[in-house]
């Protein structure tokens, strides 16, 4: 569960609402046509930009920004060292029996157990990494697109309001409220883009990057296990992926 | 038929019109010179940016955003496995008789049947992929250019309206309507860019990306067939191109 | 002669003028100091950005956007096949006598006839391509710079007008016309950037890209001729550069 | 201690405050809800964009812009030459006893002393460089994100103020002060982004670049020492990293 | 001496001043606090972005945009041919005595005379090129940063002026002049960015690019001389760096 996304979303909207309530009635910030043109219009335009099936999957993708949790890199190192020890004692076939939680690592070990050529395994797994990153980026780009389109739809709505107001200025006292309503679409567009769509896109991009780093570590670890590298060497190689204070040390865990 | 593009376009424009109608008369949103300067001006400027023959083909390219449908990757995997099985049983020459729907795959198989060198085939097909992507990107860039130019022409039209209004402010009651008319060009530019030109550009870019992925799969499959790779291995290699839930499994189809 | 550039420029300016005339007197759109600050200022600032000799050559470069015509790729394929046939019948030395219109192809063939090493020829011609593209891009960047600077100078001029107007608001009736004049520099900057400088930059970039593709085709063709490749194979290799409907077929021309 | 960051921050804020005080009372520039929406809102939105643990470490990262000092490249050259001399006299094992302050260099020398393969060492250290740069860039991107979000939150706050003001224009004398308050959020957003978040991001990026250059020098020096290169040659190789006036000359120091 | 930078700067500022003088008194364009916040604030913020020693050297770097003159490529070709002729007649050691003006070429030739390995020389000189380009880019980025920060400080100053004006609108006749003063900071920021900082950055980038091309030519020429290539061949190789009308021909100079 990624609390930061939830806390941030609730906190940002909370501050906006508090700020509105401190200035008076919240009712003046509600306008049905403005909501329709910003939210409905944004969905429709983003629908034009992406295929239907990708759009439909975007809700699930957004959820990922709230609940997804990448595996901790130190766990991957620990598991790799365990696998390397098994491989040195029992040979590559001995890896068959070891239980591996991470699916990507498990698939890779299976390819090793099946006796495939190291170069082919590297090629297959590298491609799987780059293609899964490409799929993640489509999820990111849907929310980036929402963040681009919402302010534009907000501006279109404001222009509609301004044209209607200016065509009909017989009653000066109505000018202020009419302009307030016209500005609401710009406000909705800015809120939707800046406190929802763009942060979700950035969080998803961050998750995708974590996934890429984890999978690169696994790729390297599989290659090292297949080459029969010293487990201590593998620890050194994989620790390069961690910052100094997160470095994994087998001494703390296994004797 | 890509319904998402059509639904999105109709939906976005529908919401804009509904929003206009809810605020009053739609007549105040029609202004002939503004239409001329935004739509005509945009076409003219884009004509300056691209050669004539490319511009003329852009209508056909736009249509592609509405009707084009990429082949499903699982079909390509299925066909590749069928071809690999034939190649293993009857040799590469046996591929001659197999009917292949996908034109790019069919051309590639023909090169294999003709006994060309694998390296040469890879080189020819890779170049065909990268050059067809380059041609697609010109189509994308025409609509991107429209999306850039239309708001600029809108601003130019609004400036013309403002200068005319301000030079002649003897009648205060005419200021409002004159300003409304001046804003219309900005409105037209924003509508044209955000609900037509830019989404079409993005959809075309998306289609081009799908085409690139499909052709890369085919390139890989042809290479594997020529090397005489195990059909099950080819299935594994090509499945890397699919997300987990779309993975093709030959077990479900062929025994 | 590239008619699209001329039609586009005349058309875009025509629409702007028509739109002005429909709204009244064109005289209110003329202001000498605004013209000076936008056009003169832009030239001066661009002069700061680029060396003098490059600036002086920019008029010739701009002309290229109106009159330059790239050679048709099918002509290059035709000529390459002719050369390949000669090379197969009479040897590489036989290429000496063949008349070649395209200067880049002709220089390349001369290097082949002189008996240079294929690797050296590839290196020399590749570098010539990449360096001529780099020179073209300087031409493109001059017009891009004009397109960036002109709106900025327009804004500076408008700020000057606004400061002068606001410092001296004793006569309310003069405010409107003073503001109209202040807006004119913004208008000039937008017109110059959007209907001249940026489209010329894009057209030049497009021409440069066509030149790069043509020269890459020629590079490939020279390499293939020197290797003694089958003319039919060369046709296949070079046709990858053409879209499906433009493919060259030797059957239609030579028996 | 990086004085430039501190001087710049104090100086920029000092000029802003001086400018405010010259115009009158500073009290009119304080507004609690505006502060909440800009500073609180920015933190919340940036929290959505990044994982919680990275956000928490960002204060430490910001401190780095004030206190971090990269090692001087000439010191690295000096130490490398010393190490190279030792390696030539006593062999690679002789490096064991040499005290090395720089941690990255010290780790690398240890790998050499342990008798690892040069290719493996290069691979491990290169990866450590690229991954530590990637981690630095996350720190940079947090402050870049703050610099993007703060003006957006400022605009949202100003829109709230404008809507409230315009909905309630019965008292004309309150319009001015209400608008002044509305503008304050835009002001806070601009100040926070331009005089704190973006400059910190740029300084961190600069530090990261210095670190990359230093570590590349060390990588090269370790490789050269392991190959047994002449110390004078190493001096030449590493001096390429320095500008002409900073070149290290061993003649000035060691005989 | 690069006249274009000086002419452009004087010309652009001259047009701005002329335009101001045509509209009336220049005194209304002078405001001390605005100057402080734009120029002082920009310097302070840029100081935060870069290390102190780099900032201090930026004045010298700016001077380079006015006085630096790259060596003409044809001179480099001429000198390379002379060196190649000497090398063919007297061997590589004969190069010792030849006087070479260009420092980079002279250093390279010294490496050749010292009998270093061609691969090592290429590696050292390539790195020196890429690292000197990197140093140049820091100079460019200081002026780019000034061009980004100045308009932002201008906006901050204008916001300060607007807030002060609106908080205190009791005297309507003071509104105009107060707003004029508020706009001055935006004006100063736009002038400083567009007619000084950004053009200097672009000119420095251009100079850096010329330096890169010249040094690449020299690198190639040194490599060719060391390989003992025919001087006529070297002329051909290096001429690729020149546009058609600038091509160097040894026939015009040496017999």
**Tens digits of residue pLDDT in B17-47:** 998 998 878 888 999 889 999 999 999 999 9
Chains A and C touch (3+ CB pairs under 8 A): no
Residue E245 has which token pair? 């009308």
Taking CB atoms and an 8 Å limit, are B44 and C200 in contact across chains? no
**What is the spatial distance between Cα A253 and Cα A236, in angstroms, rounded to a whole number?**
15
Taking CB atoms and an 8 Å limit, are A15 and D44 in contact across chains? yes
Residue of A1, A2, A23 to mutate when probing chain D, most D C-beta within 10 A: A23
Q: Of A209-218, C68-77, C109-118, E219-228, which gets the smallest average pLDDT?
A: C68-77
* Mean predicted lDDT score pLDDT of chain E: 88
Chains A and B touch (3+ CB pairs under 8 A): yes
> Could you tell me the pLDDT band of residue B254, with boundaries at 50, 70 and 90?
very low
Query: How much is the pLDDT for A255?
Result: 39
Query: How much is the pLDDT for D255?
Result: 39
Residue in chain E closest to D176 (alpha carbons) equals E166
Taking CB atoms and an 8 Å limit, are E187 and C163 in contact across chains? yes
Taking CB atoms and an 8 Å limit, are D45 and A243 in contact across chains? no
B233 by Cβ neighbours in 10 Å (0-12 / 13-18 / 19+) ranks as middle
Q: Tell me which chain D residues have a C-beta less than 8 angstroms from the C-beta of E162.
A: 180, 183
Chain B: closest CA distance from residue A27 (Å): 19
> How many C-beta neighbours within 10 Å does residue E80 have?
27
The pTM for the full model equals 0.91
Question: How do residues C138-159 score in pLDDT, each as one tens digit?
Answer: 889 999 999 999 999 999 999 9
Taking CB atoms and an 8 Å limit, are B47 and C11 in contact across chains? yes
Query: How much is the pLDDT for A52?
Result: 81
* Mean predicted lDDT score pLDDT of chain B: 88
> Could you tell me the pLDDT band of residue A187, with boundaries at 50, 70 and 90?
very high
**What is the spatial distance between Cα A35 and Cα B228, in angstroms, rounded to a whole number?**
59
Each as own residue / partner, the long-range contacts of residues D180-184 (CB below 8 Å, 24 or more positions apart, any chain) are: D180/D28, D180/E162, D180/E163, D180/E164, D180/E166, D180/E167, D181/D31, D181/D34, D182/D157, D182/D158, D183/D158, D183/E159, D183/E162, D183/E163, D183/E166, D184/D29, D184/D31, D184/D34, D184/D157, D184/E163
Chain A: closest CA distance from residue B190 (Å): 7
Taking CB atoms and an 8 Å limit, are E4 and C132 in contact across chains? no
Query: How much is the pLDDT for C255?
Result: 39
Residue in chain E closest to C158 (alpha carbons) equals E187
Q: Tell me which chain B residues have a C-beta less than 8 angstroms from the C-beta of A47.
A: 4-5, 7-8, 11
> What is the residue whose two structure tokens read 């063939």?
C109
Q: How many CA atoms lie within 13 A of D21 on its CB side?
A: 6
Residue in chain E closest to C57 (alpha carbons) equals E245
* Mean predicted lDDT score pLDDT of chain C: 88
Mark out chain E residues that contact chain D at CB-CB < 8 A: 33-34, 36-37, 40-41, 43-52, 55, 124, 127-128, 131-132, 135, 145, 149, 152-153, 155-157, 159-169
> What is the residue whose two structure tokens read 């700016």?
E62
Of A34, A156, A167, the CB nearest to B177: A167
Taking CB atoms and an 8 Å limit, are E16 and C47 in contact across chains? no
Residue of E163, E174, E178, E185 to mutate when probing chain D, most D C-beta within 10 A: E163
Of E11, E15, E177, the CB nearest to C167: E177
Question: How do residues E243-254 score in pLDDT, each as one tens digit?
Answer: 777 777 776 554
Taking CB atoms and an 8 Å limit, are A161 and B23 in contact across chains? yes
> Which subunits sit against C, judged by 3+ Cβ pairs under 8 A?
B, E
Question: Residue C197, Cα to own-chain centre: how many angstroms?
Answer: 11
Q: How far is CA A45 from CA A142, B145, B194, D38, in A?
A: 11, 18, 8, 30
Query: How much is the pLDDT for C1?
Result: 58
Q: Is the pLDDT of residue C130 over 70?
A: yes
Query: How much is the pLDDT for A231?
Result: 87
Question: How do residues E169-204 score in pLDDT, each as one tens digit?
Answer: 777 788 888 898 899 999 999 999 999 999 999 999
Segment C96-125 mean pLDDT? 88
* Mean predicted lDDT score pLDDT of chain D: 88
Strand runs labelled E in chain C: none
Residue D218: what are its φ and ψ, rounded to 5°? -65, -40
Of D12, D19, D186, the CB nearest to E157: D19
> How many C-beta neighbours within 10 Å does residue E200 have?
28
Which residues, at least 6 apart from C218, have a Cβ–Cβ distance to it below 8 Å? C76, C80, C102, C104, C105, C108, C125
Q: Is the pLDDT of residue A149 over 90?
A: yes
Taking CB atoms and an 8 Å limit, are C36 and E15 in contact across chains? yes
Q: Tell me which chain A residues have a C-beta less than 8 angstroms from the C-beta of D52.
A: 2-4
Q: How many CA atoms lie within 13 A of E80 on its CB side?
A: 37
Q: Tell me which chain E residues have a C-beta less than 8 angstroms from the C-beta of D206.
A: 49-51
More reliable by pLDDT, E2 or C212? C212
Q: Is the pLDDT of residue B51 over 90?
A: no
What is chain B's alpha carbon radius of gyration, rounded to the nearest angstrom? 26
**What is the spatial distance between Cα B94 and Cα E120, in angstroms, rounded to a whole number?**
53
> What is the residue whose two structure tokens read 């315009």?
D166
Taking CB atoms and an 8 Å limit, are B203 and A50 in contact across chains? yes
> Which subunits sit against D, judged by 3+ Cβ pairs under 8 A?
A, E
Segment D133-147 mean pLDDT? 91
Chain C: closest CA distance from residue B42 (Å): 8
Residue in chain A closest to B18 (alpha carbons) equals A33
> Could you tell me the pLDDT band of residue D199, with boundaries at 50, 70 and 90?
very high
Interface D:E, Cβ pairs < 8 A: 127
Chain D: closest CA distance from residue E219 (Å): 15
Question: How do residues A152-183 score in pLDDT, each as one tens digit?
Answer: 999 999 999 999 998 887 777 888 888 988 99
Chain C: closest CA distance from residue E97 (Å): 30
Taking CB atoms and an 8 Å limit, are E40 and D15 in contact across chains? yes
Q: Which of C57-71, D212-226, E89-103 has the largest mean confidence?
A: D212-226
Residue D239 has which token pair? 């001096």
Interface A:D, Cβ pairs < 8 A: 128
Query: How much is the pLDDT for C57?
Result: 81
Taking CB atoms and an 8 Å limit, are D8 and E48 in contact across chains? yes
Q: Which of E195, E202, E206, E197 is nearest to E149 (CA)?
A: E197
Q: Is the pLDDT of residue D145 over 80?
A: yes
Of B176, B194, B203, the CB nearest to A149: B194
More reliable by pLDDT, B253 or A70? A70
Query: How much is the pLDDT for D156?
Result: 95
Question: How do residues B123-160 score in pLDDT, each as one tens digit?
Answer: 889 988 998 888 888 889 999 999 999 999 999 999 99
Q: Tell me which chain C residues have a C-beta less than 8 angstroms from the C-beta of E188.
A: none
Query: How much is the pLDDT for E215?
Result: 93
């Amino acid at each position: 569960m990624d609390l930061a996304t939830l806390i941030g979303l609730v906190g940002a909207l909370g501050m906006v609402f508090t700020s509105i309530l401190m200035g008076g009635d919240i009712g003046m910030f509600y306008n049905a046509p403005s909501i329709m043109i910003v939210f409905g219009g944004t969905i429709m335009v983003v629908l034009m930009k992406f295929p239907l099936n990708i759009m439909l999957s975007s809700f699930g993708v957004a959820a990922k920004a709230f609940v997804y949790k990448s595996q901790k890199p130190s766990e991957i190192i620990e598991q790799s060292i365990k696998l390397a020890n098994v491989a040195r004692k029992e040979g590559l076939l001995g890896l068959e029996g070891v239980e591996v939680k991470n699916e990507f690592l498990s698939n890779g070990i299976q390819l090793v157990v099946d006796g495939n050529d190291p170069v082919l395994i590297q090629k297959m797994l590298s491609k799987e990494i780059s293609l899964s990153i490409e799929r993640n980026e489509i999820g990111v780009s849907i929310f980036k697109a929402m963040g681009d389109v919402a302010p534009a739809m907000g501006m279109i709505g404001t222009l509609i309001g301004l044209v209607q107001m200016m065509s009909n200025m017989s009653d000066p006292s109505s000018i202020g409220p009419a302009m307030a309503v016209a500005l609401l679409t710009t406000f909705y567009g800015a809120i939707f883009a800046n406190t929802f769509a763009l942060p979700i896109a950035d969080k998803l991009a961050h998750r995708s990057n974590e996934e890429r780093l984890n999978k690169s570590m696994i790729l390297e670890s599989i290659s090292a296990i297949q080459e029969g590298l010293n487990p201590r060497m593998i620890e050194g190689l994989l620790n390069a992926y961690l910052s100094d204070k997160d470095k994994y040390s087998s001494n703390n865990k296994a004797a």
